[in-house]
Chain A
Amino acid sequence: MSNKHLFLPSGFIRTPLQNGLGRYIPQLQRITLKFCKNHGGSRGVRDFIETDLMEFAKTNPGTVVYLKPRRHRYPCMVAEYLNGEREYLSCHEFSRAEIQKWLSYMCTRSGIPVMRFRKYNHTDYPSIQGVWNPFTHQAPEINVAQFPHEILSKPVDNGPTATDQLIEIFKKTQIKDPVKPEH
């Protein structure tokens, strides 16, 4: 069993440069597709380049696409992000659909390295109505009360005890029978 994830960096969700406030800016700066013109391992990449690459470049005007043919080596893609991060992915024997999928993954990422998230939300304003404490919504007379106090020093839940309730039930059973008329 792999324990690799135990040593993963962990952190909190964030976006580079407050992305999404105002407008969203795609974070993928440039992507390089490296492939071989002859080998079968690059076939999916070549298919992608022939059919889908122009469409991809048109729909992502903020991204620069580089193609780098190199002889007799495995294909790969390298994505570089606006925050300076760089991600490498080997595309050996990927199909055309797989290339599309991983390219869209690279496009929609923010470039922050993969990590384990400790929380699934982030807020700069953790409380707006004030943090609750035991004295929230209590009557202000508690501020000037002198202790020991007749009421305030007692436990809050001072309802009838189990003994009291038993006595009460017992008393209820002690109703005298109605007077029977004599014959």
Chain B
Amino acid sequence: MLRSAASNNFEGTKLNASQPTSVKPQQEVLENQQESEIAITKETIEKVNSQIELNSHGRLFAVIHLAGKQRRVTDGDLIMIEGAHPADVGDVIRAEKVLLLGSRDFTLIGRPLLRPDLVRVEVTVVEKSLTHTKTVFRNRRRKNTRSINFCRSHFSIMRINCVRLEGLVDQRPEIEGVDGRVF
């Protein structure tokens, strides 16, 4: 692979090649490293897959997108969701938007999401309640306008039940993304 530094130079293009100049064309030879890169990729994927098969990856964490926020979760975590949420107390939800999954030795990064049949994150709604009374006080100075409101907003607390790997990396099924869907 040859790449000429002079060809990218604006001044180089302006000058005619037949005219003698003081600038010598700079060239460097880049080796084609595609094959070695592919070998490294394969080896890495094999290592990750062997850990998944032996279930030796240890505790996993995931970054999920839930109720408009990205949250880092592991098994047994508690997360709080601000605002009203349709899920009732005791419901088990599957968090399908998994952006990232990490373990001690490897990290799987979704582009932007990981495949739903690769990762499973389950969440139980544990509590739905109202926050403490917040005071909303608005005052316009020197305008004789002020208002005071009291507000309690909804929140729900969720327990992360599992963050689990359910498939192997780089082994895609022929049809994917349709399990559990009703068409």
Tally chain B residues at the interface, Cβ within 8 Å. Answer: 48
B100 to chain A, nearest CB (A): 11
CA distance A105 to B89 in the complex (A): 11
**Dominant secondary structure at the A interface:** loop
Residues of A within 8 A of B23 (CB): 175
* Chain B residue with Cβ nearest A106: B129
Interface-side segment among B32-40, B47-55, B74-82, B166-174: B74-82
Instruction: Decide: A26 and B90 in contact? CB cutoff 8 A.
Output: yes
Residues of A within 8 A of B159 (CB): 15, 19-21
**Dominant secondary structure at the B interface:** strand
Instruction: Decide: B79 and A108 in contact? CB cutoff 8 A.
Output: no
Residues of A within 8 A of B22 (CB): 175-176
* A183 interfacial by beta-carbon distance below 8 Å: no
Number of A-B contacts (CB under 8 A): 115
- With A121-B80, A125-B74, A178-B15 known as contacts, the answer to whether A108 contacts B129 (CB < 8 A) is yes
Known A-B contacts: A13-B80, A15-B157, A20-B161. Give 13 more (CB < 8 A): A1-B137, A1-B148, A2-B135, A15-B159, A20-B159, A108-B127, A108-B129, A122-B77, A123-B74, A124-B76, A124-B77, A128-B60, A175-B22
- Hey, which bits of chain B sit against chain A, CB under 8 A? 11, 15-16, 19-23, 58-61, 71-74, 76-80, 82, 88-90, 102-104, 107, 124-135, 137, 148, 150, 157-159, 161
